[in-house]
Amino acid sequence: TQLLEQSPQFLSIQEGENLTVYCNSSSVFSSLQWYRQEPGEGPVLLVTVVTGGEVKKLKRLTFQFGDARKDSSLHITAAQPGDTGLYLCAGALSGGSNYKLTFGKGTLLTVNP
């Protein structure tokens, strides 16, 4: 059983469309991070959210952390081909192992020109 479930697993859209990807869990996280990974590269950190209900914006990307700190969403406005990549969410559980990130399987996004 995956601790963090991401949906959808695959998403193919046209340039200019909006999209939302989801990251859900039954566990409470002390913090949650979103990464983007391109083929042959390591994940690149986009944002960290730590407070329930927190919303962060990064240009056309909007990240939200659920009130109960169990889920998160990433919304992209007016997607561009450069947004193509694997989007990973990763959570740190509360307690002594809060350094350890648990990743979801990711959402593979393709933005077609």
Partner 1 sequence: GAGVSQSPRYKVAKRGQDVALRCDPISGHVSLFWYQQALGQGPEFLTYFQNEAQLDKSGLPSDRFFAERPEGSVSTLKIQRTQQEDSAVYLCASSLGEGRGYEQYFGPGTRLTVT
- Residue ranges in contact with partner 1 by CB under 8 A: 4, 30-31, 33, 35, 40-45, 48, 50, 88, 90, 92, 97-106
**At closest approach, how far in Å is the CB of 92 from partner 1?**
5
d(CA 34, CA 46): 6
**At closest approach, how far in Å is the CB of 48 from partner 1?**
6
Decide whether 5 or 20 has the Cβ nearer to partner 1.
5
**At closest approach, how far in Å is the CB of 79 from partner 1?**
22
Decide whether 10 or 14 has the Cβ nearer to partner 1.
10
- Three-state secondary-structure class, residue 81: helix
CB neighbours of 110 closer than 8 A, spacing ≥ 6? 10, 11, 12, 13, 84
H or E element, residue 22: strand 19-24
Tokens of residue 54, six digits: 């927190």
